[in-house]
Amino acid sequence: MSSLDVARIRKDFPILNERVNGRPLVFLDSAASSQKPVQVLAAMEHIYRATYANVHRGVYWNSEQSTELYDDARCKIAQFIGAPSPENVIFVRNATEGLNLVAYSYGRHFLKAGDEVLLTEFEHHANFVPWHVLAKERGVKLKFIPMTQQGTLDLSKLDELLTPQVKLVTFAQVSNVLGTITDPRSIIDRAHAIGAKVIVDGCQSTPHMPINVQAMDCDFYAFSGHKMLGPTGIGILYGKRELLEAMPPFMTGGDMIGSVSFEDVTWADVPVKFEAGTPAFVEAIGLGAAVDYLSAIGMEAVRTHEKETVAYAIERMSEVPGATIIGPTDPEIRGGALTFTIKDIHPHDLGTLLDREGVAIRAGHHCAQPLHIRLGLKATARASFYIYTEQREIDALIEAIYKAKHTLRK
């Protein structure tokens, strides 16, 4: 029995009534991008139908209405993540852009040759590639916190890795492959003790559990709207005010300026300094509606449902001959994703056969090639869950895997 009324929640997601290959859709790829409730769709449609006009640029009614809703969304999001002020919240296209913003605006301004950036072995490419680029450009050295055989971070190595040369530490709060949940304060406090700044990738944590960036004491925190019931094209970078004020803009153009003359340019205050051009204000309002939806459910309840769902999925997958679960099997330290392999079946083949049964999973390296290299795997399969996932869908996944094994005589 779920802690959530999943049957009621599912009524808010029209796409879950669709059929794929003549079978009910079983959507198990929410870690990549979640589905959207009617409340989010309605909030965005209202803007386009009734009040649409550019924000912060007009003194007429439509523009004022859109601006009010846009600014209100920033306030909602700030409250949702425990930010001290809406001014700490920068709208970006997605977490990838937010992480690149820090790499370009903070990294290129404050890091120099010989400085070190400490990452983990299980980072998503969005929190890997920008630092590789910076290392090649500026002579910065990258180091990595290793993981244990169980798929958790080996923090026994942390003090050894946190040398005086480490100026920046960046890590995912929840691995998008392993599902591993890391306690941020176990890293942040020790990083701050040597004067290093800390970035947390919250893509797989913000949609699934309570977040308070002030209690966490991170310096930057990035996440995407599309993984938490919101639309694509909108994400958030949280930053401490003093750091954001010290950083140069990531992009330049309209709205982010204080003044422009033939001789000089000055910047607007944060967060607008980092929001050049017409913002994705309809998408931001949609994300605000998604935050309203999740807040009404309660993030503690969301996390409880996730633990129940992943525990059931681990139990059922453990019954499948030839199945290997990748990452921790303790639901207390695992997020809402179950990554696995089936002996002698390539994940891409498995994904294709499951699709015939209406079951949608992810197959590949999940934008985490270094982790797969570390695991000695070229690809894995991943089923991921959210507030609308029912146990019967886990059963459908397992049944479809057995059918795939039969089809391939495995």
Q: What is the pLDDT of residue 3?
A: 76
Task: Report whether pLDDT(1) > 60.
Answer: no
| pLDDT mean over 301-313 | 98
Given 75, 203, 218, 367, which residue is catalytic?
367
| pLDDT mean over 282-296 | 98
| Average pLDDT taken over every residue of the chain | 97
Calpha distance 265→136 (Å, rounded): 30
Here the tokens at position 53 are: 């006009």
Backbone angles phi, psi at 37, to 5 degrees: -80, 160
| DSSP code of residue 15 | G
How far out from the chain centre does Cα 46 lie?
A: 27
Dump pLDDT digits (tens) for 334-360.
999 999 999 999 999 999 999 999 999
Task: Report whether pLDDT(256) > 90.
Answer: yes
Active site residue 218: no
Q: What is the pTM of this model?
A: 0.97
Query: Domains in the chain and their CATH numbers?
Result: 6-30+299-407 (3.90.1150.10), 41-296 (3.40.640.10)
Q: Are 143 and 166 in contact (CB under 8 A)?
A: yes
Calpha distance 350→373 (Å, rounded): 21
Cα 286 to Cα 59, 73, 80, 88: the distances in Å are 23, 8, 14, 19
Number of H helices, E strands in the chain: 15, 17
Task: Report whether pLDDT(410) > 90.
Answer: no
Q: What number of other Cβ atoms are within 10 A of residue 101's Cβ?
A: 24
Q: How confident is the model at residue 58 (pLDDT cuts 50, 70, 90)?
A: confident
Write down the residue that tokens 């802690």 correspond to: 3
Q: What is the pLDDT of residue 322?
A: 97
Q: What number of other Cβ atoms are within 10 A of residue 151's Cβ?
A: 22
Q: What is the pLDDT of residue 2?
A: 59
Q: Specify the amino acid at residue 289.
A: A
The contacts found for 212-218 with CB under 8 angstroms, 24 or more apart, are 212/81, 212/82, 213/81, 213/82, 213/83, 213/88, 213/238, 214/82, 214/83, 214/84, 215/82, 216/184, 216/185, 216/188, 217/185, 217/188, 217/189, 217/192, 218/184, 218/188
Task: Report whether pLDDT(296) > 90.
Answer: yes
Beta bridge partners of 221: 200, 238
| pLDDT mean over 130-147 | 97
| pLDDT mean over 229-238 | 98
Calpha distance 212→78 (Å, rounded): 10
Cα 6 to Cα 317, 356, 410: the distances in Å are 22, 25, 34
Is the previous residue joined to 271 through a cis bond, with omega within 30 degrees of 0? yes
Q: What is the pLDDT of residue 336?
A: 94
Q: What is the pLDDT of residue 166?
A: 98
| pLDDT mean over 260-285 | 96
Dump pLDDT digits (tens) for 78-90.
999 999 999 999 9
| pLDDT mean over 13-31 | 97
